[in-house]
C-alpha cells in the first residue's frame, strides 16, 4: 500500500511509522513520500535520513490560497498514494483532496475525540486545555478525515492517565509515547491488510 505522510513539525509520528515499517509492525506498506508545508520541519530531515522523497509545499510560495491548495494536491497526486496519513499536519485539507481521496486520509489527534478537538485544538494547546479542565484520562484518536476539523469517523483510540503536577509538555510526551506512536502504526497496518470493518451502527473497528 503506497502511503504518503503529511507533516508540519518534528515528525515523531512519522518516525514511529518508519520504525514500525522497519520492524515489521506495519506490513504491506511503502512510505513513498513525505509532504510538509514547512521547509524547516524536522520531519523532512527524518524522511531524508530514511531515503524517502520529501516535498515542501509552502503557502508563502503561492499568491493565492487556491494556488497553494492546487500545488498541495498536485504534490500528493505525484506519489499516487493509496493512503494519506496526516501526522501533525497543520493545514486544512482542501475539499477537492477530501473528495478525490475519500476514506483514504487518516489523521492522528492528541485527545479522545470528541473531547478537546476542533478549531484551535492542536499541539500543546490540546494538553493545556486538558489540564485546565482537570480530566483524569486523555489519549489519542486516529480518524478518517472529512471536511470538518477532527470530525471524521473514529477508527482507533487509546487512553492515557493524567498524573498530578503534569505540565502540558510532560503530558504531550506521554500521549505521544503511550498512544499516538502506537495507534497510528496499528491503524496503517490494519488498513494495509484490509482489517477494517464497519459494524451495524456504521462505526469502524480494527479486526485483529
- Catalytic site residues? 109
If we measure between CA atoms, which residue out of 163, 165, 157 comes closest to residue 186? Answer: 157
Nearest distance from C-beta of residue 142 to ligand GRF, angstroms? 10
C-alpha distance across the termini of the chain, in Å: 19
- Smaller CB separation from ligand GRF, 14 or 155: 14
User: Measured from the CB atom, is 176 or 190 closer to ligand GRF?
Assistant: 176
Q: How far is the CB of 200 from ligand GRF (least distance, A)?
A: 31
User: How far is the C-alpha of 124 from the C-alpha of 118, rounded, in Å?
Assistant: 14
Q: How far is the CB of 89 from ligand GRF (least distance, A)?
A: 8
Q: How far is the CB of 10 from ligand GRF (least distance, A)?
A: 4
Give the integer Cα–Cα distance in Å for 173 and 196: 28
Nearer Cβ to ligand GRF (123/153):
123
| Contacts with 70 (C-beta within 8 Å, 6 or more apart), sequence order | none
Of residues 176 and 192, the one with the C-beta less far from ligand GRF: 176
Q: Which of 199, 6, 40 is nearest to 108 (CA)?
A: 6
Residues that bind ligand GRF (CB under 6 A): 7, 9-14, 43, 87-88, 108, 110, 123, 172, 176, 180
d(CA 110, CA 201): 25
Amino acid at each position: 500500500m503506497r502511503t504518503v505522510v503529511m507533516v508540519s513539525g518534528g515528525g515523531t509520528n512519522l518516525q514511529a511509522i518508519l520504525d514500525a515499517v522497519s520492524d515489521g509492525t506495519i506490513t504491506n506498506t511503502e512510505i513513498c513520500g513525505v509532504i510538509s508545508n514547512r521547509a524547516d520541519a524536522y520531519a523532512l530531515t527524518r524522511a531524508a535520513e530514511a531515503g524517502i522523497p520529501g516535498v515542501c509545499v509552502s503557502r508563502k510560495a503561492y499568491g493565492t490560497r487556491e494556488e497553494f491548495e492546487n500545488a498541495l494536491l498536485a504534490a500528493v497526486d505525484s506519489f499516487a498514494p493509496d493512503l494519506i496519513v496526516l501526522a501533525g499536519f497543520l493545514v486544512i485539507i482542501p475539499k477537492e483532496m477530501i473528495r478525490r481521496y475519500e476514506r483514504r486520509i487518516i489523521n492522528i489527534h492528541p485527545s479522545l475525540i470528541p473531547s478537546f478537538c476542533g478549531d484551535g485544538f492542536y499541539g500543546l494547546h490540546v494538553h493545556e486545555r486538558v489540564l485546565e479542565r482537570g480530566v483524569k484520562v486523555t489519549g489519542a484518536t486516529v480518524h478518517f478525515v472529512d471536511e470538518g476539523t477532527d470530525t471524521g469517523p473514529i477508527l482507533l483510540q487509546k487512553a492515557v492517565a493524567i498524573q498530578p503536577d503534569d505540565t502540558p509538555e510532560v503530558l504531550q510526551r506521554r500521549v505521544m509515547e503511550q498512544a499516538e506512536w502506537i495507534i497510528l502504526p496499528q491503524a496503517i497496518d490494519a488498513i494495509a491488510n484490509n482489517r477494517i470493518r464497519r459494524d451495524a451502527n456504521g462505526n469502524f473497528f480494527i479486526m485483529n
